[in-house]
Chains A and B, each alone.
Chain A
């Protein structure tokens, strides 16, 4: 029986192809949006987390200030070389610490100016902490930092932007004064934990930048642990050291925040999760509209086929048979829309892959496909129920007489 009902529903849909297609557009767009957005959000999530994971579980950073206790902090919180040295020497599990901040400056080379270059003043320990090393020349050392040497290490993309042919040894202007390019960083696609692209940054010694007045705000510290076993305990020790160097009396809130990699990961997870749910809510509206479209067309279909319903009833179809027939047709309409939507959504995510560099190939989790299926089918069922019930309630005599 179900096979015949299914065949009958298919026949009816195929016979009204255009109408069926237009009817299911709402569903198609809804499901397409789910699939495309889930896939894109997953892609972004993948890029970001893989980069964060590249930092290693032992990576953490300290930012000055504490948004949850701004009013209680009296002093201007500041994170500097002293703090970095204190952590380095007093916390055993710390491999390296480096003060860090970013700045945006113009970089000039001969007549050429590249505006808005991300400047990263930091210490000589930066390469080990970020897992990012020089490709040509050398990175600056602790002496360069102490001596406030005007040296800079630049990313490969910035080399290109400046039009440098043999970068190491050339002189560029930064903060209005000449700096010697002593190294070029290796290519490291993507962005760091703060969202800056690695390959377009210029790295200078921390104290040099401070002396030239580049530092605004409290700065931060990058920390690399030599063990990933007990990140929490290390975090607690770093906190104790910083409280003592900042002379924070017991009971007062921290004037800094320690952010670990796992916290970053969960933040990213939260953001993508929120994005996904927002999209699902929007899609819910699209599916509602799609469902109303299905209901509308099914009501038309029931009216058009009133006589057919009468004939079937006269031949022995029960109200349930008629109900099943129209319900299956509505469900099938929803499903067809869902399937088309899945394919179109997959196509859209492929376009994202082709257009955005470094974007992973579309990854559509099984749950998204199942969700799309279940949603489109249930939209069909829910919105097909009323028209189908109307068909089933028809009086055979009136239905047979219907012209």
Chain B
């Protein structure tokens, strides 16, 4: 069982009476502990893929199993629980709550945890630990507007890590940062699979970012057009599964 199993996933929108296929039959397997870059130009469907992977959006058709659970059948509330337990988000524009301290921001996912709720003290301790991982232990009581962009993104990464999710979904994590800070943030993210045992998926349009990842999935017009691991195409087995799924879709 893979961490992520996408089988023939479609996501269509209606725009001015026209049907737009943002995801056009995507099948994918991502294993636990992988470091994956999803690349493509704007309009290629990579944002939609990210939203579907992040359980922020549901496929129009097809199956999406995350950590063994079919999430395409879940309602809003159940999806919220899945996001909380399984996924840590890192956004391009950080998306921290401006009125709260770094510590409170980082502790936020634990607040919304239903099973195994922690006491406020334990939540604070976990948040402090996560801030330590990103090297901001001494900035716990600062608010976002008292921090640099790089520091804010570190807080966001700490927030993504605090709930010990299966995977970190980073959407253009360096898009709002200068090149030096970008490198630092990227270093932090690419080290996570090894150091924290988390799967990391980075959505980006920058080839330099993709180069740092082990696996690269390229989207074009809602389809996967390239899937390479360290420069070599995927093993035959996975590719065959993909072809099979696509074939099944064509039968009807």
Contact, CB under 8 Å: B54 / A314: yes
A contact residues around B159 at 8 Å (CB): 315
B contact residues around A316 at 8 Å (CB): 80-81, 83-85, 109, 112-113, 163
A contact residues around B163 at 8 Å (CB): 316
Contact, CB under 8 Å: A315 / B112: yes
Known pairs A11-B99, A319-B76, A400-B95; A314 contacts B56 (CB<8 A): yes
Known pairs A308-B97, A397-B56, A400-B95; A315 contacts B77 (CB<8 A): no
**How many angstroms from the CA of A1 to the CA of B120 in the assembled complex?**
9
Mostly helix, strand, loop or mixed at chain A's interface?
Answer: helix
**How many angstroms from the CA of A336 to the CA of B70 in the assembled complex?**
46
Known pairs A4-B111, A312-B112; A318 contacts B97 (CB<8 A): no
**How many angstroms from the CA of A1 to the CA of B107 in the assembled complex?**
13
A contact residues around B220 at 8 Å (CB): none
The yes or no answer to B108 lying at the interface (CB within 8 A) is: yes
The yes or no answer to A214 lying at the interface (CB within 8 A) is: no
Contact, CB under 8 Å: B109 / A396: no
The yes or no answer to A307 lying at the interface (CB within 8 A) is: yes
Instruction: Identify which of A11, A316, A321 gathers the most chain B CB atoms within 10 Å of its CB.
Output: A316
Contact, CB under 8 Å: B112 / A311: no
Shortest CB distance B155–A (Å): 13
B contact residues around A319 at 8 Å (CB): 76-77, 80
The yes or no answer to A15 lying at the interface (CB within 8 A) is: yes
**How many angstroms from the CA of A128 to the CA of B65 in the assembled complex?**
97
B contact residues around A317 at 8 Å (CB): 80, 112
Instruction: Identify which of B56, B89, B91, B163 gathers the most chain A CB atoms within 10 Å of its CB.
Output: B56
The yes or no answer to B51 lying at the interface (CB within 8 A) is: yes
**How many angstroms from the CA of A1 to the CA of B111 in the assembled complex?**
7
The yes or no answer to A320 lying at the interface (CB within 8 A) is: yes
The yes or no answer to A209 lying at the interface (CB within 8 A) is: no
When C-beta atoms are compared, the residue in chain A nearest to B165 turns out to be A316
**How many angstroms from the CA of A315 to the CA of B83 in the assembled complex?**
6
B81-116 near A? 1/0 per residue, CB < 8 Å: 101110001010001110100000000110111000
**How many angstroms from the CA of A322 to the CA of B109 in the assembled complex?**
14
B contact residues around A308 at 8 Å (CB): 97
The yes or no answer to A313 lying at the interface (CB within 8 A) is: yes
When C-beta atoms are compared, the residue in chain A nearest to B109 turns out to be A315
Contact, CB under 8 Å: B76 / A318: yes
The yes or no answer to B221 lying at the interface (CB within 8 A) is: no
A184-205 near B? 1/0 per residue, CB < 8 Å: 0000000000000000000000
When C-beta atoms are compared, the residue in chain A nearest to B80 turns out to be A318
CB-CB contacts below 8 Å: A147-191 with B: none
B contact residues around A314 at 8 Å (CB): 54, 56, 83, 89, 95
Instruction: Identify which of B80, B95, B97, B112 gathers the most chain A CB atoms within 10 Å of its CB.
Output: B80
B residues bordering A, Cβ < 8 Å?
Answer: 51, 54, 56-57, 76-77, 80-81, 83-85, 89, 91, 95-97, 99, 108-109, 111-113, 117, 120, 159, 163
6 residue pairs, one from A and one from B, having the closest CB atoms: A316-B84, A316-B112, A318-B80, A315-B109, A318-B77, A311-B95
A residues bordering B, Cβ < 8 Å?
Answer: 1, 3-4, 11-12, 15, 307-308, 310-321, 396-397, 400
* Sample (11) of A-B pairs whose CB atoms are under 8 Å apart: A1-B117, A12-B99, A310-B95, A313-B80, A314-B54, A314-B89, A315-B109, A316-B113, A320-B77, A397-B56, A397-B57
